[in-house]
Amino acid sequence: PPPPPPPRHGLILSVLVVGAEGADPAAIRRVIGEVLRIVAAAPAMGRPLPEEGPPLRWPSEGIALEVAASRSAGQPRLARRLAVLARTLAASLVFRFGLRVGGFDPARYRHELVANADFQKYDDGLRMTLDCDEATAAAIEARLAAAEAAGIVHFGLHRQSAALTTCITIVPSESDHVHFIDGDGGGYARAAQILKAKIKDEIKDEIKDETRSGTAA
């Protein structure tokens, strides 16, 4: 995968939002819509990857991992390392100079990498990894905190200094490659821990309230 691109606008913000139990679905959608409007007003709409794709460096930070993954019976580590360095150098030159190889167009691939990047998803909740400034992050956090206090949503946020891109590319010349964006500091995992802790505390409070009601009766 490409090396973690540094934030262009200040920080990488991982966001997880789910509806609170029993909350009005329309109210949940309104909150999420308001958060998305904050994101839309941010520089580059919060996209963690630049339009030209992530920066490419050689040798990359993942060389050691690639060497470990390319183990062959009886092949010494030095030979494997040299083979990986040669292969990655060739790929780096292809991208650097825009060289077309067979049906592979590096310029098209980098454009599709950005277009196919999954940095924002909404299904049963909202999940985002944003490149934004502190003012945008604070505005998102303030809106979600107000909605959480009103019993509409629960959320988890985590700030970090870089984004991490995980690529699934079956055939490089095809356009169906997918790229998942997360914070380099384990953004979604950290945000999920915060979110789960809040939900757990809410359940504990509900049990306490039910216990008090039963005792009073």
The answer to whether position 171 is within a domain reads: yes
pTM of the model: 0.64
Phi-psi region of 46 (alpha: psi -120 to 50; beta: other; left: phi over 0): left
The answer to whether position 43 is within a domain reads: yes
The answer to whether position 17 is within a domain reads: yes
Average pLDDT of span 188-204: 85
The answer to whether position 137 is within a domain reads: yes
pLDDT digits (tens, 9 = 90+) for 133-167: 999 999 999 999 999 999 999 999 999 988 877 66
- Is residue 210 pLDDT above 50, yes or no? no
The answer to whether position 85 is within a domain reads: yes
- Is residue 119 pLDDT above 80, yes or no? no
Mean pLDDT is lowest, of 4-18, 22-36, 68-82, 186-200, for 68-82
- Is residue 42 pLDDT above 80, yes or no? yes
Range of the domain at 137: 11-216
Domain count, the chain: 1
* Average pLDDT along the chain: 78
Confidence (pLDDT) at 19: 94
CA 156 centroid distance within chain: 14
Find which of 98-102, 121-125, 169-173, 189-193 is predicted with most confidence, using mean pLDDT: 189-193
The answer to whether position 6 is within a domain reads: no
The answer to whether position 209 is within a domain reads: yes
* pLDDT classification of 16: cutoffs 50, 70, 90: very high
The answer to whether position 125 is within a domain reads: yes
